[in-house]
Amino acid sequence: MALILFNKPYGVLCQFSAEPNGPPRPTLADYIKRPGVYPAGRLDHDSEGLVLLTDDGRLQARIADPRFKLAKTYLVQVEGDPDEAALEPLRRGIVLKDGPTLPAEARRIDPPALWPRDPPVRFRKSVPDCWIELTIREGRNRQVRRMTAAAGYPTLRLVRWRIGEWTLDGLAQGEWREGPTARA
């Protein structure tokens, strides 16, 4: 049984083949030359960070299936300057078009020491931004971006840092390593 931790760069599709009618974009195949592994969940092309891949269907389901509510932690650069009261709706759960979210853990953090993003996040002198750490236990389509936007703080940069006990610690952008599988 294999488990791979991959630090997905911005703009990479979280699949091994390109979209047939879409613009040419890099895929997992451009980085991971290991046959028989598949992503356990997805990360949008405009998001960065931890993607887990495995060759074990049971482990893949344990990681990706929402019924297991495996915690996923994101480092999120948002537009605006939310205070504690502004983060409270995220902590209670936000109502989105597809229903209410589960409560999230949300806190402001200092800007993390991350790799530069290519292309860089737009900078506007007149609009402040800050970083929050957000932990959710579900995985709806573009959920973190939709949650921060609904709270009034649109996402500028999104980096998944942790899934369960697996983290990006020590893993450079575009790199992968094998990880332990018994920790889900």
What are the counts of helices (DSSP H) followed by strands (DSSP E) for the chain?
A: 3, 11
How many Å apart are CA 77 and CA 17, to the nearest integer? 29
Active site residue 44: yes
Looking from the CA of 128 toward its CB, the CA atoms found within 13 Å total 7
How many Å apart are CA 100 and CA 93, to the nearest integer? 6
Catalytic member of 30, 44, 55, 56:
44
CA 48 to the chain's CA centroid? 6
Q: What are phi and psi of 121, to 5 degrees?
A: -65, 140
How many Å apart are CA 76 and CA 85, to the nearest integer? 17
| Cα dihedral 75, 57, 3, 24 sign | negative
Residues noted as catalytic? 44
